[in-house]
């Protein structure tokens, strides 16, 4: 008899514990999110390509789809087009140059996309400005090069971009794991107002991001280290409603395959991160090769009422779909 009472008490405690976890992380009793998702345009409006079979050595310019628009990624015209198409944030890639600038260009080396040679950061900005950034793009295995001759002089500097778009939001990708690069970027950005800094964020290697965050603590940043320091303790204890201090004032790039394992995802998790002044970016697939939500089938995979940031390579395609959907449980 006594053993039965103990078992019943344990069962009751277990049931109450499960109910606590459920209701504490359910979207049933939390603030509804009725706004549209935020659209982050990877490399602005760029030419896309199939992700299958990619390796770190793949020249993606040599395998683009048949072009559906005339823009070359990471250029000012492509950024203008992305914002016009509906982008809220544009992602761009930076490389320091030998003459103290930050060049905006995707690749570590020049051979794939341009008519130049060598490591991007081993050149002066003056040298990089002479290159044709559309030189290597082909959709038919080299039979034609539709952007050749159209990208001469289009590699911009970070200063040119931030001056040209003084009120737009950008995500800056540091392409190295060089601590000095983070320090140099911090020195450059430190001249901007607090309001402008709030419109920017950065991600990249652990070392440059740590250096950047140390000098500009108000800037949202993301690296593998900042992600782990936030998400590992959150997965361990987030069921209680606890948000680790490492999750405050930062940015999280969450692969869609991992997102369902986060306590309270999507609505309660997003609300918790909002309260911590942290931006959540949902990336398609496992996020290995900058997979994005690029079409109608991808958008259908989004959780109901998700209105965090969406990573996309085709903002021109998904913006009309997103803006046409109803959010907030309607």
Read off the pLDDT of residues 11-60 as tens digits, 9 standing for 90 and up: 666 565 455 555 567 666 566 655 789 999 999 999 999 988 888 889 99
pLDDT for res 305: 79
Q: What is the pTM of this model?
A: 0.92
The predicted pLDDT at position 55 comes to 86
Q: Could you tell me which residue, 9 or 73, shows the higher pLDDT?
A: 73
> Which pLDDT tens digit goes with each residue over 158-187?
999 999 999 999 999 999 999 999 999 999
pLDDT more than 90, % of the chain:
79
Structure tokens at 228: 């782990």
Q: How far apart are CA 95 and CA 61, in angstroms?
A: 19
**Pairing label, strands 200-203, 169-174:** parallel
Q: For residue 304, give every residue at least 6 positions away whose Cβ sits within 8 Å of its Cβ, in sequence order, or none.
A: 329
> What are residue 310's phi and psi, to 5 degrees?
-115, 125
Judge contact between 73 and 49, C-beta under 8 A. no
**Mean pLDDT for the chain overall:** 91
pLDDT of residue 23: 52
Q: Which two tokens stand for residue 214?
A: 């140390």
Q: Place 2 in a pLDDT band, splitting at 50, 70 and 90.
A: low
Both tokens assigned to 270: 């997003």
Mean pLDDT of 116-130: 98
């Amino acid at each position: 008899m006594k053993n039965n009472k103990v078992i019943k008490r344990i069962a009751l405690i277990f049931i109450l514990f499960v109910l606590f976890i459920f209701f504490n992380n359910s979207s049933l009793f939390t603030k509804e999110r009725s706004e549209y998702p935020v659209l982050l345009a990877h490399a602005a409006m760029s030419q896309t390509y199939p992700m299958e079979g990619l390796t770190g050595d793949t020249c993606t310019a040599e395998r683009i789809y048949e072009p559906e628009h005339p823009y070359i990624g990471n250029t000012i015209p492509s950024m203008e087009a992305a914002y016009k198409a509906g982008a809220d944030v544009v992602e761009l890639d930076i490389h320091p140059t030998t003459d103290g600038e930050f060049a905006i260009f995707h690749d570590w080396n020049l051979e794939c996309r341009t008519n130049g040679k060598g490591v991007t950061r081993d050149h002066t900005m003056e040298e990089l400005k002479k290159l044709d950034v559309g030189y290597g793009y082909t959709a038919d295995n080299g039979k034609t090069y539709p952007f050749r001759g159209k990208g001469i002089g289009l590699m911009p500097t970070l200063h040119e971009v931030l001056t040209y778009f003084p009120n737009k939001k950008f995500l800056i990708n540091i392409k190295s794991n060089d601590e000095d690069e983070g320090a140099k970027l911090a020195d450059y950005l430190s001249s901007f107002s607090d309001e402008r800094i709030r419109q920017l964020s950065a991600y990249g290697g652990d070392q440059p991001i740590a250096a950047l965050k140390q000098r500009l603590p108000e800037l949202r940043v993301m690296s593998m280290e900042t992600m782990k320091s936030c998400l590992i303790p959150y997965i361990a204890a987030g069921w209680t409603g606890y948000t680790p201090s490492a999750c405050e004032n930062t940015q999280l790039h969450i692969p869609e395959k991992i997102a369902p394992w986060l306590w309270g995802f999507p609505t309660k998790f997003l609300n918790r991160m909002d309260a911590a002044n942290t931006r959540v970016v949902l990336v398609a697939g496992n996020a290995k090769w900058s997979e994005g939500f690029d079409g109608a089938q991808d958008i259908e995979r989004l959780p109901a009422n998700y209105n965090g940031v969406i990573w996309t390579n085709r903002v021109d395609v998904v913006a009309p779909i997103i803006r046409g959907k109803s959010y907030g449980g309607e």
